[in-house]
Amino acid sequence: MKNLRLFATLVNGEQIELSDCPTGRDLIRALLPGASKPKALVIEATDKEGRVVRIVVSADESETAKVSITHES
């Protein structure tokens, strides 16, 4: 994916990055290998002020993720 990085920081200071996933389909297969034909992977987080960040990775040949930031009322 061109606009998305997924990585984990380890307690020893090292970092592991999920790479070699040029499309949404590749990324979803890497993260959810047993999933039965998902349409998308959605990552959503809400902060204390109610703002919501949503990242949508379509399970197709898209090379970019959709990102939205909203304020819930």
- Per-residue pLDDT tens digits of the chain, which is 73 residues long: 899 999 999 999 999 988 889 999 999 999 999 888 899 999 999 999 999 999 999 999 999 999 999 986 5
Domain that holds residue 62: 6-71
What's the total number of domains in the chain? 1
Residue 70, pLDDT score? 93
> What is the CB neighbour count within 10 angstroms for residue 27?
22
63 domain-assigned: yes
Residue 28 CB-density burial (10 A; 0-12 exposed, 13-18 middle, 19+ buried) = buried
31 domain-assigned: yes
Residue 69, pLDDT score? 95
Three-class secondary structure of residue 71 per DSSP: strand
CB-based contact 57:4 (threshold 8 Å): yes
64 domain-assigned: yes
1 domain-assigned: no
d(CA 41, CA 62): 13
